[in-house]
Structure 1
Amino acid sequence: MDLLTSVGYALAYAVVGIVVLGVGYGVLDLLTPGHLGRHIMAGSMNAALVAASGILGLGLVVYTAIWHHADASFGEALGYTIVFGLFGVVVQAVAFRLVDIVMPDDLAATAMETTFHPATLVPAATQIAVSLVVVASIA
């Protein structure tokens, strides 16, 4: 494979990765009250922690899909990356909502508070954990 082709593949994977991360962030924004970005910019460590863990988890899913299917044809590998990336978004959203339901208070609202609350470690860990489950299913 020549350099130009490799760069083209890298660009395509980067675009897919950025789109998956953006979709994941957008879904998380829909699951939380208010505008997630505004909460983060207002200094909410909780919101930043939950968003960062979701993005990190999805990054792991995208990376694994690319790495594991590197020997397949480019189109097939890119397809796997898209499917598993979007599957990761859905699984993270379901897990976030389930954790929010089982917690005694409104966890989504707590995650938007400016003062750090230890309860936000639960959805953050859940985002990473379900992403690792998806990663394991790829490999």
Structure 2
Amino acid sequence: MVPALAQIAPDFFPFIGAGVGAILLYAVLGTLLMLLGFYAVDITTPGKLYRLVQAGLPNAVIVTAAGMVSMAFIVVVAIYAASGSLVEGLLQTLIFGLVGILAQVGGVRLMEWITGIDIGAALHAEGVRAETFVVAAAHVALGLVVAVAVL
């Protein structure tokens, strides 16, 4: 009887090692892009968004959650669209992720300005406000649009 390890192809473990390494590198890059996306939303939003979220203000939580989901769309598609060597893929992901985050945040702020939504007042409100759902939807929608544009 042949031991089970003897039946594994010689290139199996190097392949697994390279795959695990790529997963970890993309995970780190994705996390950094998500954090950068959060800070881009925070910087362009009146007030300190992270403090409003920590305080449990519902509108801040809704907008932040939608912003994070939209950033995830962009990062996931940027990773999916990456091609070439691992280094080229990581660089493509970084560039497309950064441009996508800027486009998404800029688009949401433009939508708020055009519609006259005072997102600062909404984020500081104790109760849920209707315009928060418009801004949250804009985050998700623009995240999808930008993500597909990456393809």
TM-based fold match above 0.5:
yes
1:96 aligned residue: 108
- 1:79 paired residue number: 91
Deviation string 1:3-31 (CA, Å, 9 cap, x unpaired) is: 22111111110111111111111111112
Query: 1:21 maps to what in 2?
Result: 34
Equivalent position SS for 1:26: helix
Identical pairs, percent:
33
Q: 1:75 & 1:119 partners in 2: Cα distance?
A: 42
In the alignment of these two chains, the number of paired residues is 138
Higher relative contact order (CA 8 A, sep 6+): 1
Quick check: 1:35 aligned with 2:57? no
> Is 1:65 aligned to residue 78 of structure 2?
yes
Runs of at least 4 residues off by over 6 Å: none
Deviations 1:50-96 (A, max 9, x none): 11111111111111121232x52211211121111111210122112
Q: Tell me the distance in 2 between the aligned counterparts of 1:61 and 1:120.
A: 21
Distance 1:104 1:10 in 2: 42
Gaps of 5+ in 1: none
TM-score, reference length from structure 2: 0.82
Alignment partner of 1:134 is 2:141: no
What is the match of residue 123 of structure 2? 111
**Structure 1 residue 37, shift from structure 2 partner:** 1.5
Query: What amino acid is the match of 2:73?
Result: L
Unaligned runs of 5+ in 2: 1-13
TM superposition shift of 1:103: 2.9
Q: Which stretch shows the higher mean deviation, 102-111 or 115-124?
A: 102-111
**Structure 1 residues 96, 112: CA separation in 2 closer, same or farther (over 3 Å shift)?**
farther
Instruction: Provide the rounded CA distance (Å) in 2 between the counterparts of 1:26 and 1:123.
Output: 17
Measure how far apart 1:105 and its partner are: 4.5
